[in-house]
């Protein structure tokens, strides 16, 4: 499948998304076509290189002996500015210049770091993304947001820098641990709730195929998610408004991640956030109880948490939300579902009702309807 993201802004650009297994051997040629005579430097997540490096050489991708492959120890704790400088120095030593380009091979951490580096190396060079986690394929590689963390918070430094091209293959997901796959599924479920009821029904009806990572099923959900995200990014590249809908489940989710000192994984936090947003919407008579039940059932089927651990009080979560609000400016936007496949951006959050919802979700088992 091929998808084109048309970006307007000051300088109209296009970002191309290619999804499919058979294309692996073609990637160096695709890169040459998309980057012209620029020399690509490949920055790989070291873990992914260990699993896929040999295969990649068989596909004709460059080997470390070419001097154009850099291995990056990808982890959230290495998503930091000093690691970016280390990578930049490795590139400079290897001879990368204004006529070079970067290729990121790895999950969301690698994509965010390499995207950021590409946006500032020699005042900006093009880059190409090869996302290898489900989360990166359905979410983080699309849209051009880049960044690194500060001890004070995640993604506080960053840029918008659209990749020229994104190539992804479900084949990479064969080696992805279940826990990582689940994190990606939380974003798939979120995406379906935001803008694609057909995707939602597919997730409900093809759970077994997705779980056993059948290539066709994976390609289907990845394509559907990319299509939803691409449309939103085309309409609002720099998060002026519409793009905020992508934060469904993330307001409460981010608060939980932060309160747990990032012990709670992102997808797990988003799952709890999706239940909180859905339950609040039911309380506000905007969303049907039956749809809330479907949300809880789908999340549970993927072993994603639907209750908030007792250690986090509603007061603490609301306090963390207020901190986020200060950071984002004045208004706290809360995205609420109105039906499966449609959400609204509400800027007059009823804190009292949210507090009741958070209190009702505390515990370990399935929330009562």
User: 201, 236, 205: which is closest to 341 by C-alpha?
Assistant: 201
**List 83, 164, 254, 258, catalytic entry:** 254
CA distance 322 to 84: 31
CA distance 282 to 276: 10
Q: Is 268 in the site for ligand NAD (CB under 6 A)?
A: no
- 8 Å CB contact between 364 and 312: no
In the DSSP assignment, the letter for residue 145 is B
Catalytic residue check, 182: no
Catalytic residue check, 294: no
Catalytic residue check, 47: no
Which residue in the set 15, 34, 100, 110 belongs to the binding site for ligand NAD (CB under 6 A)?
A: 110
- Scanning 72-214, the segments in alpha helix (DSSP H) are 81-94, 108-120, 134-135, 178-195, 197-205, 207-211
Residue 301 CB, shortest distance to ligand NAD, in Å, is 20
CA distance 29 to 139: 25
**List 145, 164, 258, 279, catalytic entry:** 145
User: 180, 181, 182, 200: which is closest to 190 by C-alpha?
Assistant: 200
Residue 73 CB, shortest distance to ligand NAD, in Å, is 9
Which residue in the set 40, 108, 170, 195 belongs to the binding site for ligand NAD (CB under 6 A)?
A: 108
In terms of phi and psi (left: phi > 0; alpha: psi -120 to 50; beta: otherwise), the region of 143 is left
CA distance 250 to 245: 10
Q: Is 178 in the site for ligand NAD (CB under 6 A)?
A: no
Catalytic residue check, 161: no
Q: Is 87 in the site for ligand NAD (CB under 6 A)?
A: no
**List 127, 190, 265, 266, catalytic entry:** 266
User: 274, 284, 272, 217: which is closest to 246 by C-alpha?
Assistant: 274
Which residue in the set 72, 116, 121, 172 belongs to the binding site for ligand NAD (CB under 6 A)?
A: 172
Which residue in the set 20, 40, 106, 163 belongs to the binding site for ligand NAD (CB under 6 A)?
A: 106
Residue 11 CB, shortest distance to ligand NAD, in Å, is 20
Question: Which pair of tokens denotes residue 213?
Answer: 């990572």
User: Could you give phi then psi for residue 362, rounded to 5 degrees?
Assistant: -70, 135
Catalytic residue check, 127: no
Binding to ligand NAD by CB under 6 A, coded x per residue (else -) over 118-157, reads --------------xx-xx--xx--x-x--------xx--
Catalytic residue check, 257: no
Which residue in the set 68, 79, 244, 258 belongs to the binding site for ligand NAD (CB under 6 A)?
A: 79
Q: Is 51 in the site for ligand NAD (CB under 6 A)?
A: yes
In the DSSP assignment, the letter for residue 139 is I
Largest Cα separation within the chain, whole Å, is: 62
Our CB check for ligand NAD shows the closer of 26 and 180 to be: 180
- 8 Å CB contact between 190 and 270: yes
Residue 80 CB, shortest distance to ligand NAD, in Å, is 11
**List 47, 68, 187, 279, catalytic entry:** 187
β-bridge mates for residue 6, sequence order: 14
Residue ranges binding ligand NAD (CB under 6 A): 45, 47-48, 51, 74-76, 79, 106-110, 112, 132-133, 135-136, 139-140, 143, 145, 154-155, 172, 175-176, 180, 183
Give the residue numbers marked as catalytic. Answer: 123, 145, 187, 229, 239, 243, 247, 250, 254, 266
């Amino acid at each position: 499948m091929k998808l084109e993201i048309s970006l307007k802004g000051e300088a109209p650009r296009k970002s191309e998304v290619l999804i499919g297994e058979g294309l692996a051997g073609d990637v160096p040629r695709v890169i040459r076509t998309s980057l012209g005579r620029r020399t690509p430097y490949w920055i790989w997540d070291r873990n992914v290189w260990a699993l896929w490096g040999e295969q990649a050489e068989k596909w004709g991708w460059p080997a470390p002996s070419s001097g154009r492959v850099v291995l990056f120890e990808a982890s959230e704790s290495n998503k930091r500015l000093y690691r970016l400088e280390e990578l930049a120095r490795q590139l400079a030593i290897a001879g990368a210049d204004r006529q070079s380009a970067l290729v990121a091979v790895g999950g969301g951490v690698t994509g965010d770091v390499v995207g950021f580096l590409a946006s500032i190396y020699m005042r900006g060079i093009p880059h190409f993304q090869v996302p290898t986690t489900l989360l990166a394929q359905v979410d983080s590689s699309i849209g051009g947001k880049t960044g690194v963390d500060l001890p004070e918070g995640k993604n506080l430094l960053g840029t918008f820098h659209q990749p020229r091209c994104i190539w992804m293959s479900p084949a990479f997901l064969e080696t992805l641990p279940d826990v990582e796959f689940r994190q990606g599924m939380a974003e798939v479920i979120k995406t379906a709730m935001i803008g694609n009821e057909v995707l939602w029904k597919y997730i409900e009806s093809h759970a077994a195929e997705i779980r056993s990572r059948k290539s066709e099923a994976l390609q289907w959900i990845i394509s559907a998610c990319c299509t939803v995200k691409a449309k939103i990014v085309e309409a609002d590249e720099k998060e002026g408004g519409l793009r905020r809908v992508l934060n469904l489940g993330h307001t409460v989710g981010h608060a939980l991640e932060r309160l747990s000192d990032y012990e709670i994984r992102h997808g797990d936090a988003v799952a709890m956030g999706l239940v909180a947003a859905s339950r609040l919407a039911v309380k506000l008579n905007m969303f049907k109880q039956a749809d809330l039940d479907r949300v809880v059932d789908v999340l549970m089927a993927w072993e994603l948490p639907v209750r908030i651990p007792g250690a986090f009080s509603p007061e603490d979560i609301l306090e963390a939300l207020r901190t986020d609000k200060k950071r984002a400016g004045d208004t706290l936007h809360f995205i609420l579902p109105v039906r499966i496949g449609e959400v609204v951006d509400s800027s007059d959050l009823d804190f009292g009702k949210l507090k009741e919802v958070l209190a009702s979700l505390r515990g370990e088992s399935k929330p009562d309807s």
